């Protein structure tokens, strides 16, 4: 029962620091696996240590302070580690993800308190309060699950499970009714394309969990356009407004990161680009190449056009390149005389924002459009949805790993009934996302789809 649990214990959002708490038998050894600094298994209790959290490739995720507290003098009375990260959603989340990968389980709401109680840390008189608390938190959890299972992601997960139960029930029918020759006998060969499709779909679901990704990593935003259309002024205007920090630390992430702002609690990583134009200049050509690559990596393109310059062929060419992405067209310098014909752009009018950065016009409208474009008003940055996203994503990743194991098992030509065990475990795992793993489902499926019996 006392497996090791972890959770982000501070409220989500962009704070100065955040605390990830880990409790349980393996708390110290698990954190030690992702900590670069002192060997935490050898340090004294109740002392804070400086170091870095690193991923599997030794790449530092965040600079942290880690408190190691050994049993029993802790809140839960179990070995406990608290990791102080540098706030921000992305690094804190990455730390949590690493812990889950290394074998921690995401704590249920109230679970630390529950453990404290069960381990006799909290007075028995507090029991009632604890129960009320667990109950109310569970309600949140339930809602969270409900939130999660409405919408596209959930449809995809249900679809995935539906595909899988068909395979599973078919194999089970083959096992339980081996002599029925009118039921297709699933073999490893038949399974290969099905498993491939499954893998594809899981990958797709992972992609569809866009909200989660947005919360976690922010929106990669590129401002592109010809030179002197006002890209840098836009960036400055956005940054100024939000009093965000301009990061100019070379070599940290990408050398073209120019600034970060938050809108509705969601992070925008804004990249300014070299002006894009056809050029014979070799050095500039490299810059252009880079900009094109950046378009590829972006979640949002802000395409700037000068109101005062006619629209040229190369602008339209470039526009074609970004149309497969989420984009907004910003017509700047509306304080000057208009020399453009908007019809040439061939885009929906709601994709176009007219602004004058100089006059501080249209910036708010731009922000509203971004909120709209990413449904940011629907993304809850408080605990529930956020946690549930992390959870589903970590489950999905686990499933993907299992799918790879299945591919290997098929290659080794293991019996189909062994492989079915793996498929079923994925099906069950996926079911925990919306809490619907139930044996009867499988039995019903077997008897509804196949014609069996005496």
Residues that bind other proteins (CB under 8 A): 1, 108, 110, 114, 117-118, 124, 127-128, 130-132, 134-135, 138, 141-142, 172, 175-182, 412-418, 421, 435, 438-440, 442-444, 446-447, 451-454
To the nearest whole angstrom, how small is the minimum distance from the Cβ of residue 418 to other proteins? Answer: 5
For residues 354 and 425, which CB has a smaller minimum distance to other proteins in the complex?
Answer: 425
Nearest to other proteins of 87, 110 (CB atom):
110
Report the nearest approach of other proteins to the CB of residue 179 (Å). Answer: 7
* Nearest residue to 54 via CA among 23, 76, 85: 85
Asked whether the beta carbons of 365 and 160 are under 8 A apart, the reply is no
Structure tokens at 265: 């609690």
Least distance in angstroms from the C-beta of 10 to other proteins: 23
266-272 and 300-306 beta bridge pairing: unpaired
Phi, psi of 192 (to 5 degrees): -50, -55
CA 419, 425, 428, 433 torsion-angle sign: negative
Nearer to other proteins, 131 or 286 (CB): 131
| Preceding omega of 419 cis (within 30 degrees of 0) | no
Nearest to 269 by CA among 304, 233, 238: 238
The two tokens of residue 279 are 């050029």
- DSSP bridge pairs for 50: 65
**Rounded Cα distance, 8 and 387, in Å:** 9
Q: How far is the CB of 175 from other proteins (least distance, A)?
A: 5
Q: Say how far apart CA 49 and CA 32 lie, in whole Å.
A: 12
**Residue 226 or 398: which CB sits closer to other proteins?**
398
Smallest distance, Å, CB 185 to other proteins? 10
Q: At its nearest, how many Å lie between other proteins and the CB of residue 105? A: 12
Instruction: Rank residues 167 and 305 by Cβ distance to other proteins and give the closer one.
Output: 167
Identity of the residue, 245 or 421, whose beta carbon is nearer to other proteins in the bound complex: 421
- Distance separating alpha carbons of residues 84 and 96, to the nearest angstrom: 12
């Amino acid at each position: 029962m006392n497996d090791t649990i972890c959770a982000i214990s501070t409220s989500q959002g962009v704070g100065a620091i955040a605390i990830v708490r880990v409790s349980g038998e393996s708390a110290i050894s698990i954190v030690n696996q992702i900590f670069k600094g002192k060997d935490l298994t050898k340090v004294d209790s109740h002392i804070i240590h400086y170091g870095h959290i690193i991923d599997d490739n030794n790449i530092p995720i965040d600079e942290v302070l880690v408190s190691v507290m050994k049993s029993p003098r802790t809140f839960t009375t179990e070995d406990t580690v608290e990791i102080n990260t540098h706030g921000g959603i992305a690094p804190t989340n990455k730390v949590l993800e690493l812990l889950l990968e290394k074998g921690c389980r995401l704590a249920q709401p109230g679970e630390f308190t529950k453990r404290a109680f069960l381990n006799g840390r909290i007075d028995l008189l507090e029991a009632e309060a604890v129960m009320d608390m667990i109950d109310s938190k569970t309600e949140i959890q339930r809602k969270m699950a409900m939130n999660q299972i409405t919408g596209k992601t959930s449809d995809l997960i249900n679809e995935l499970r539906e595909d899988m139960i068909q395979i599973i029930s078919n194999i089970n029918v083959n096992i339980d009714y081996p002599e029925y020759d009118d039921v297709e006998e699933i073999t490893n060969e038949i399974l290969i394309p099905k498993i491939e499709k499954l893998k594809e779909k899981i990958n797709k679901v992972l992609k569809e969990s866009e909200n989660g990704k947005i919360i976690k990593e922010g929106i990669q935003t590129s401002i592109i356009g010809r030179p002197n259309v006002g890209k840098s002024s836009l960036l400055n205007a956005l940054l100024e407004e939000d009093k965000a920090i301009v990061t100019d630390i070379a070599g940290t992430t990408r050398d073209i990161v120019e600034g970060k702002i938050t809108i509705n609690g969601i992070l925008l990583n804004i990249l300014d680009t070299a002006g894009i134009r056809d050029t014979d200049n070799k050095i500039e050509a490299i810059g252009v190449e880079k900009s094109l690559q950046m378009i590829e990596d972006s979640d949002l393109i802000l395409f700037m056009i000068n109101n005062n310059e006619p629209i040229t062929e190369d602008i339209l060419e470039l526009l074609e390149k970004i149309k497969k992405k989420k984009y907004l067209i910003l017509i700047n310098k509306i304080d000057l005389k208009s020399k453009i014909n908007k019809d040439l752009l061939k885009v929906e009018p709601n994709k176009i924002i007219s602004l004058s950065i100089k006059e501080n016009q249209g910036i708010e409208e731009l922000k509203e459009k971004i909120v709209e474009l990413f449904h940011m008003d629907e993304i809850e940055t408080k605990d529930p949805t956020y946690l549930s996203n992390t959870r589903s994503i970590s489950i999905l990743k686990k499933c993907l790993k299992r799918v790879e194991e299945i591919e290997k098992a098929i290659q080794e030509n293991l019996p189909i009934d062994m492989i079915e065990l793996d498929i079923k475990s994925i099906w069950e795992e996926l079911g925990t996302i919306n809490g619907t793993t139930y044996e009867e489902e499988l039995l019903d499926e077997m008897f509804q789809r196949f014609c069996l019996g005496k």
